[in-house]
Amino acid sequence: MTAIVRAVGIRKEFGGQEVLKGIDLEVQLGEVLCILGPSGSGKSTLLRCINHLETPDKGYVWIKGQIIGFELKNNMLCELPVKAVRAQQSRLGMVFQHFNLFAHRTVLGNIIEGPMQVRGVPRAAATQKAHELLELVGLSEKAEAWPGELSGGQKQRVAIARALAMEPSVMLFDEPTSALDPELVGEVLAVMKHLASTGTTMIVVTHEIGFAREVADRVIVMIDGEIRETGPADTVLTNPKDLRVRTFLSRVL
């Protein structure tokens, strides 16, 4: 098996509060990992440490065997220059709760921006790829629309297409449906299910237990900055060993 993401001993504190208390995590090629847990348990911080939007206080993250944010120089780990970190981050697709589309660009413009600016992909090739991705997320007819003309579900599907355009090694989702009206959740989950079925490596922070049960190869439950339970979705969701995990799941199931 090939570990796409490997995190070892990740610790992070904010103003004396320990938010991540030593997280170890591995995600294999093509695996879908769902992270569940109460609000404030450190899920977003963990994703932000994985893509180095936050630097862990302790511990390291490897993406496809390459340590993120650091390089080895004379046997010492040194922080990478910002530009090199950005290049590494561009291999991690991130989809947030809020869509963060560029409001002053069309849907197509949003999708081709990264590949053209960061990767130097020619406009024609980037555009062709963008049309393929829009078809994948079911929005072929919206290429020339402005973000302001889209529903929340459509915006989130564009955000997914935009992340995929960078051909990421792994897709990180942070509660991608939490900000959506209930009737729009399904269309976004359907796209994510499709991605999972095509072998995309995914880490998904979600409160959608049904999605986790159906799609996740493995589920992690975080409580107070620790992984309290990990295993196949069925095992974790139906028969968790940890008492606090049971309490949490009994509230959300």
Say how far apart CA 53 and CA 112 lie, in whole Å.
22
Strand partners, 62: 6, 67
Strand partners, 238: none
Closest approach of Mg ion to the CB of residue 72, in Å: 32
CB distance 178 to 97 below 8 Å? yes
Which is nearest to 202 in space by CA: 160, 145, 237? Answer: 160
Considering the complex, state which of residue 44 and residue 110 has its C-beta at the smaller distance from Mg ion.
44
Considering the complex, state which of residue 119 and residue 207 has its C-beta at the smaller distance from ligand ADP.
207
Helix (H) or strand (E) segment spanning residue 245 = helix 243-252
Scanning residues 8 to 27, which ones bind ligand ADP (CB under 6 A)?
14, 19
Considering the complex, state which of residue 13 and residue 217 has its C-beta at the smaller distance from ligand ADP.
13
Say how far apart CA 93 and CA 35 lie, in whole Å.
16
Counting residues that bind Mg ion (by CB under 5 A) gives 2
Counting residues that bind ligand ADP (by CB under 6 A) gives 10
Closest approach of ligand ADP to the CB of residue 15, in Å: 6
Which is nearest to 115 in space by CA: 133, 137, 95? Answer: 133
Considering the complex, state which of residue 43 and residue 142 has its C-beta at the smaller distance from ligand ADP.
43
Say how far apart CA 112 and CA 108 lie, in whole Å.
6
- The stretch among 33-41, 84-92, 184-192, 240-248 that binds ligand ADP (CB under 6 A) is 33-41
CB distance 216 to 195 below 8 Å? no
- Tally the C-alpha atoms within 13 A of residue 99's C-alpha that lie toward its C-beta: 24
Scanning residues 1 to 60, which ones bind Mg ion (CB under 5 A)?
43-44
Residue 2 burial class via C-beta count within 10 angstroms: exposed 0-12, middle 13-18, buried 19 and up = exposed
177 binds Mg ion (CB under 5 A): no
Closest approach of Mg ion to the CB of residue 36, in Å: 11
177 binds ligand ADP (CB under 6 A): no
Per the listing, tokens 């997914």 go with: 160
Considering the complex, state which of residue 22 and residue 40 has its C-beta at the smaller distance from ligand ADP.
40
Closest approach of ligand ADP to the CB of residue 34, in Å: 13
- x/- track of binding to ligand ADP for residues 42-81 (CB under 6 A): xxxx------------------------------------
**Residues that bind ligand ADP in the complex, under the rule CB under 6 A:** 14, 19, 37, 39-45
**Residues that bind Mg ion in the complex, under the rule CB under 5 A:** 43-44
